[in-house]
């Protein structure tokens, strides 16, 4: 029975990998072909010659250099903002008792359960009222606010696992709260922080709905918006559209492949404690 369960698990994992990796491989194969070859030989045939010039043409004709810069700026600011505020909030919630702590905890839980679609209309008018429309600020400020609850919820679980004696001994030695947080707590919760960074980067980079609502000018649009306009212009050029999609996908894929061990460690640490 153990061998059957193990074999079944391997079969399930193989099927899952096929449906996960298969579309990505299919997209990459389409991106290095030509329209003529695609029509003549079909979409399932393998390319005879790799046409990497599709990537260069897609990059130039889609103005992806501008969209790439905007996506980088918004994603980096969002990640930094979420990490900084989440660490500060989680540290205070873990080690301090203050008036209104229950209310803060309730607001964090509310942030986890309130759907984004409910607040998008008042959020748009608020950003318009304070004069932020026409800039990148509405997007990264919203991402920071919306992702803090999840990040605090994840980080605070790691902080509570740190022995309080370690923190108390540092305080007795004369270390201030900022020193304790930066030199003792933060190095221990690095796996959790890496998980937060990867998740926030992926969500921000791939965001379409919020960016589509807030970013109207072409010079501040992000890559997903740029791809949407690119697909409308080159809808019949499947290799070019596939190359553009691969360009947008590559940064997130590289970040995940580099930091996947840290991410898995951060998300699973503590799950097997008895």
Distance (Å, rounded) from C-alpha 19 to C-alpha 12?
A: 11
Q: Is 81 in contact with 140 (CB distance < 8 Å)?
A: yes
Q: Which residue has the tokens 């304790």?
A: 180
Distance (Å, rounded) from C-alpha 205 to C-alpha 227?
A: 13
pLDDT of amino acid 26: 86
Distance (Å, rounded) from C-alpha 91 to C-alpha 230?
A: 44
Q: At what angle do helices 64-95 and 101-113 cross, to 10 degrees?
A: 140
The whole-angstrom distance between residue 114's C-alpha and the CA centroid of its chain comes to 19
Question: Cα separations (Å) of 161 from 95, 172, 188, 199, 270?
Answer: 12, 20, 10, 22, 8
Residue-by-residue pLDDT tens, the chain, 274 positions: 777 788 888 888 888 888 888 888 888 888 888 888 887 787 777 887 888 888 888 888 888 889 999 999 999 999 999 999 999 999 988 888 888 888 888 888 888 888 888 888 899 999 989 988 888 999 999 999 999 999 998 888 888 888 888 888 888 888 888 888 888 888 888 888 888 898 899 889 989 889 988 988 888 999 998 888 887 777 677 888 888 888 888 888 888 788 777 767 666 654 444 3
Distance (Å, rounded) from C-alpha 1 to C-alpha 67?
A: 54
Distance (Å, rounded) from C-alpha 220 to C-alpha 211?
A: 9
pLDDT of amino acid 257: 80
pLDDT of amino acid 265: 66
pLDDT of amino acid 273: 44
């Amino acid at each position: 029975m153990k061998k059957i369960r193990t074999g079944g698990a391997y079969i399930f994992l193989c099927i899952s990998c096929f449906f996960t990796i298969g579309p990505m491989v299919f997209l990459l194969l389409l991106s290095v072909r030509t329209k003529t070859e695609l029509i003549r030989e079909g979409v399932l045939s393998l390319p005879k010659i790799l046409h990497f010039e599709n990537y260069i043409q897609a990059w130039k004709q889609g103005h992806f250099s501008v969209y790439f810069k905007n996506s980088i700026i918004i994603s980096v600011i969002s990640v930094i903002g979420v990490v900084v505020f989440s660490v500060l909030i989680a540290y205070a919630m873990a080690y301090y008792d203050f008036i209104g702590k229950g209310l803060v905890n309730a607001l964090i839980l509310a942030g986890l359960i309130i759907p984004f679609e409910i607040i998008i209309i008042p959020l748009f008018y608020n950003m318009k009222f304070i004069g932020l429309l026409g800039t990148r600020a509405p997007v990264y400020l919203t991402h920071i606010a919306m992702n803090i609850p999840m990040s605090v919820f994840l980080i605070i679980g790691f902080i509570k696992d740190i022995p309080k004696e370690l923190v108390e001994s540092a305080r007795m030695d004369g270390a201030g709260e900022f020193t304790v947080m930066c030199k003792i707590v933060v190095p221990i919760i690095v796996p959790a922080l890496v998980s937060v960074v990867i998740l926030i980067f992926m969500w921000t980079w791939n965001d379409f709905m919020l960016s589509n609502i807030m970013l109207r000018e072409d010079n501040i649009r992000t890559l997903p918006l740029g791809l949407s306009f690119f697909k409308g212009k080159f809808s019949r050029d499947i290799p070019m559209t596939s190359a553009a999609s691969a360009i947008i996908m590559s940064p997130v894929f590289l970040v995940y492949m580099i930091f996947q061990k840290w991410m898995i460690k951060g998300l699973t640490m503590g799950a097997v404690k008895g």
